[in-house]
Chains A and B, each alone.
Chain A
Amino acid sequence: MSSSVMKVVIVGGGSAGWMTAVALASLLSKKQVEVVVVESPDVASVGVGEATIPEIKLFNDLVGIDEIDFVINCQATYKLGIEFTNWGQKGHSYMHAFGSLGTPLDNLPFYQYWQRLYLEEQNLDLNDFSVCAQAARQNRFMPPTLGKNTPLSQLRYAYHFDAGLYSDFLKRISLERGVSLIKQHVVGVDCDIQSGDISHLRLKDGQCVSGDLFIDCTGMNALLIGKALSVKYIDWRSLLPCDSAVTVASSVLSDLPPYTRSTAHCSGWQWQIPLRHRTGNGHVYCSQFIDDVYAQQILLSHVEGECISSPKLIKFTTGRREKFWYKNCVAIGLSSGFLEPLESTSIHMIQESIFRLLDLFPAKDETGLYQHRIEREKYNQLLANKFESIRDFIIMHYFANSRKDSPFWSYCQQLPIPESLKEKIMLYQSSSRIYRDSHDLFSEEGWISVMHGQGIKAKNCHPIAKNRSISVVKKQLLSIKSVIDKTVSYMPKHKDFLQRRIE
């Protein structure tokens, strides 16, 4: 290779492939990087990940996607959080909402004061102090306002969208921005004998595609990273036992709730994702405890409205690739790992992979790609940390349950949990504190919402929170709540807001 233009070959379309393509084409110069996507005409994408977290806005902004265009093209709705029902115990429900909880006092996070009062009066709802949770419960939505320290300025949101339409949308933009598309099935991957790098792909029509850097977006098949390069997969099913999902689309929900629903069933949980043209539903379950037929029955009996597609079964192995960047191949999307969509992190992991790849993007000089060992090491370490921190957060939902009504939930209570998570829980129990490290995706408020929501109880609040008398704390909390209540009552209904936006 004598050209100084680096050729990046992305194998596989779908969300991972096209998000990568659009990002590389939008952020890197054509003088340096040529982007080719090889998309098979006969492989369908999984198309999960229809619910997202607020970081997705960062991605769209960075590649220069207009929000309205995006909402229209992808049938998107706004999302303020996730409602978890029957998780900690049957009949119980809580919200993991985005954005902040209350406002800090005396340099102490708000939840410490909340905890102080909660220890005295158990009937205190944490969600009352989140503008996102309150708005979600009333089906209201508007974007955050400018300024500081008002509840509305603290609002954070993400989207629900049709992942298939999102790929199509990004594909159009990518092609406009100079990405070339080869619509062919890959039949072989050839490696350089000396370096072990991938040298070229062989396509069904006999064509060969060479490249400097290959991005494996082939989903669970992991055609490059797994099949060709034999990078092992670390199986996490002993930590997260669910291994199957059955999905179905249903009719549009009339009030278009601005949040995802996650409802625990006897051996798994069901999602409900409201879009503008349909509603996504899926039942994630553990096949050790329930068979596919019964799982489908449970799904269908809990779908709100009419089903408008036939149920689709997905089998998966929770885990991650041992290395995400190996030789000259980077795995992005499901080829890099799988975590169930309980906290809507699939699209986010794609985004995270792309951003880190851009940060560490290998340069090329006249002699070809130089040795990028150090970039690979850093990339693999950063991504592994990210996967593991999300994994731990998901495990906590399963582990911290007090359900006694099914063998699955009892089994989850007994599961061995990672040491780091154990420490986090103990720390919260002893002093209501959250310890977050660098790679933790979720905020302190997120951890508190879920820990408390799942029924983990703190024995004590921070002593500094005790400097104020209980009556003063109560007065402050009530005043925060009343400001939030007032604010939310002024917000438009989500449905109306969306309608106005897309007109």
Chain B
Amino acid sequence: MKQSILEKIVIVGGGSAGWMTAAALSKFLPKDRYSISLVESDNIGTVGVGEATIPHIRLFNQILGIDEAEFIKETNATFKLGIELNNWANKGDSYFHPFGDFGEPINGISFHHYWLMMQKQGNVPPISDFSVPVVAAKNAKFCHPHSNKESLLSMYSYAYHLDATSYAKYLRKYSEERGVIRKEGVVTRVIQNPESGDVSHLTLQDSSQIKGDFFIDCSGFIGLLIEKTLKTGFEDWSHWFICDSAVAIQSESHGSPLPYTKATAVSAGWMWKIPLQNRIGNGYVYSRRFCDDSTAEQELLKQVRGKLLSEPKVLRFMPGIRKKSWNHNCVAIGLSAGFLEPLESTSLYLIQVGIMKLLEFLPLADAQNIMRVEYNNVIANEYHRIKDFLILHYYATNRKDSPFWRHVRTINIPKSLKDKILLFQNTGYVEDYREGLFLEPSWLAVYFGQGIYPRYNSPKAQKIDIEKLYMFLLERAEAIKSAVSAMPSHITTINNINQAHPKIRLASNMSMYGENYE
């Protein structure tokens, strides 16, 4: 084979996508057979969203061999146990989407069937009381999950809030130490091979040329290679997601950082609040059809407490997905591959999946078409899965208090989501799948949090001794409360890590819900 020939991989664009890709490739590719370079310009700002993550990021850091304590320090990270969603179904509502399930199956039947049955008879604690991460989050507690599977404190996972710009910097150092060549400059031309149509080289502003065998487009929304050059096409999802803008601003922390992200529905969209160690990230995702930029900025500023640390920054986006993430000898990773609003903190996850999948297909330069097809299917599937889940948040609402929410009610949701909801209403069943995000615990959190319940008691749950079940539920909720009260506070854990630099060796996996969840 082409063992001795050097394969040149060129990454276009820094930012989270570019440097995460560079870091992973530099870690895993044999140096004698691959050269990796990354072109970026200091003059082009990065979007730098995606400061809230989901637990999969831990696996990414782990396979790169990144020390958690160092990472926390470098990126000003805090821990995240889930998302608090406010005002979604009705004004005044609040619920959690936690990184953990709501109790383990009993006799092979999902816990929620039992809870539902008892709840109809009244007098059981709310489902959130059965989730360790919810109870911990509400009490601003955090410690690493226990490895003893018998412990209640093993029943959750966690992610981070991080400074995406620092993370990119950190990974840049990591990559450069492992031989990635960074080239400063603006790409002015992309030249294709006239016969194959493949990208052959780039021309920079200073008219230097960069040749490559394989290109990774991390240029963001613009899609310099994948779209501007290869004209791959974009599937527009704005008929499902009417928000097209966001305004973001940083503010000074007030009080200790919370171990969760807040997503609060407001008059023309929703606002995020992401606590880092040194500051808070605030943002408003809105629709310009219902709110202009200056109103959005004012609305956001009204909600921000503490001193402002940055100028408001407005972002425009188009929700949707690139028709092919991998086209010719170019893969789009990050915003060039697609955009979904950060309501469920999936931006860095989608980058990670793109990278991990790509690593499976090496060597890239002589990849066969079948690999591109599989890669594109896998990536599209990820976006579609997340898409349905996000739409659910907007669909399952009773809000009529603003033109935005009155309009959201009229949106025709995808059939795949319609069927999922109907199936849940009929049977309480949430389909299980092996690939892609959001399994039963997440769907339950949003269904229950936004008022979608099965119409009937599941016949499966009724076999159990009601008295015993009732006692078990009460006991379990109490046990969780008491286990959480013994946990250290979130800030204590962060301070300990910053001071003591402990070696944290915790297995991580591609799951939202912790090791125990099957």
Contact = CB atoms under 8 A, between A and B. Distances in A.
B29 A436 contact: no
B427 A375 contact: yes
A316 interface: no
A467 to B, nearest CB: 6
25 contacts: A27-B107, A27-B109, A27-B463, A29-B459, A32-B459, A58-B108, A62-B107, A106-B63, A362-B426, A362-B427, A363-B427, A363-B456, A365-B456, A370-B426, A374-B419, A375-B427, A430-B370, A430-B371, A431-B362, A437-B434, A438-B435, A460-B363, A462-B360, A464-B28, A464-B29
Interface string A21-53: 000001111011100000000000000000000
Contacts of A374: 419, 422-423, 426
Contacts of A459: 1
A62 B460 CA distance: 12
A438 B108 contact: no
A333 to B, nearest CB: 21
A363 B457 contact: yes
Of the listed residues B30, B455, B463, the one surrounded by the most CB atoms of chain A closer than 10 A to its CB is B463
Given A359-B429, A378-B431, A436-B434, A32 B462 contact: yes
Contact of A6 (B109, B419, B459): B459
Interface of B: 1, 28-30, 33, 63, 107-109, 359-363, 368, 370-371, 373-374, 419, 422-423, 426-427, 429, 431, 433-435, 455-460, 462-463
B423 A375 contact: yes
Contact of A378 (B29, B30, B419, B459): B419
A107 B368 CA distance: 24
Nearest to A29: B462
Interface string A457-475: 0011011101100000000
A411 interface: no
A463 B363 contact: yes
A153 to B, nearest CB: 14
A463 B460 contact: no
A304 B463 CA distance: 48
Contacts of B29: 463-464
Interface string A415-438: 000000001001100110101111
B172 to A, nearest CB: 22
B208 to A, nearest CB: 29
Given A26-B463, A29-B462, A464-B359, 5 more contacts: A360-B423, A361-B427, A370-B426, A426-B370, A462-B360
Contact of A423 (B1, B370, B429, B460): B370
Interface residues of A, number: 45
A57 interface: no
A478 interface: no
Interface in A140-165: none
Contacts of B426: 362-363, 370, 372, 374-375
Contacts of B429: 359-360, 378
A358 interface: yes
A460 B30 CA distance: 15
B463 A28 contact: yes
Contacts of A306: none
A423 B375 CA distance: 13
A466 B33 CA distance: 10
Contact of A107 (B63, B362, B427): B63
A377 interface: yes
Given A363-B457, A423-B370, A467 B108 contact: no
Contact of A462 (B362, B419, B434, B459): B362
Nearest to A26: B463
A1 to B, nearest CB: 16
Contacts of B457: 363
Interface SS of chain B: loop
A193 to B, nearest CB: 26
B373, B423, B427 — which one has the most chain A CB atoms within 10 A of its CB? B427
Interface in A394-428: 423, 426-427
B419 A463 contact: no
A29 B362 contact: no
Contacts of A33: 459
A364 B108 CA distance: 22
A164 B157 CA distance: 46
Contacts of A438: 433-435
A288 B232 CA distance: 50
B459 A361 contact: yes
Contacts of B361: 431
A433 B362 CA distance: 11
B368 A430 contact: yes
A5 to B, nearest CB: 10
List the 10 closest A-B pairs by CB distance, nearest first. A29-B462, A363-B456, A32-B459, A463-B362, A62-B108, A438-B434, A438-B433, A374-B422, A28-B459, A29-B463
Contacts of B434: 436-438, 440
Specify which of A58, A363, A462 lies most central, judged by the most chain B CB atoms within 10 Å of its CB: A363
Nearest to B432: A438
A361 B460 contact: yes
A361 B419 contact: no
Contacts of A372: 426
B423 A435 contact: no
A457 B363 CA distance: 18
A330 to B, nearest CB: 14
Contact of B1 (A361, A362, A375, A460): A460
Contacts of B359: 464
A433 B360 contact: yes
Contacts of B431: 378
A317 B463 CA distance: 39
Contacts of B368: 426, 430
* Residue from B1, B361, B427, B459 whose CB has the most chain A CB atoms within 10 Å: B459
B458 A464 contact: no
Contacts of B427: 359-363, 375
Contacts of B109: 27
Nearest to B421: A374
Contacts of B360: 431, 433, 462
Contact of A427 (B1, B374, B433): B374
A107 B355 CA distance: 14
B20 to A, nearest CB: 16
A466 B361 CA distance: 14
B31 to A, nearest CB: 9
Contacts of B460: 27-28, 358, 361
A459 B429 CA distance: 43
Contacts of B363: 460, 463
A426 B367 CA distance: 12
A378 B33 contact: no
Nearest to A436: B434
Q: Which of A359, A360, A378 has the most CB of B within 10 A?
A: A359
A377 B429 CA distance: 13
B462 A31 contact: yes
Contact of A377 (B33, B370, B419, B459): B419
B101 to A, nearest CB: 17
Contact of B33 (A365, A436, A463): A463
Nearest to B110: A359
A6 B457 CA distance: 13
A28 B362 CA distance: 50
Contacts of B456: 363-365
Nearest to B427: A360
Nearest to B361: A431
A377 B368 CA distance: 36
Interface in A113-130: none
Contacts of A433: 360
Contacts of B455: 363
A329 to B, nearest CB: 18
A75 B340 CA distance: 57
A25 to B, nearest CB: 10
Contacts of A437: 434-435
Contact of B458 (A62, A107, A361): A361
A26 B108 CA distance: 12
A118 B12 CA distance: 37
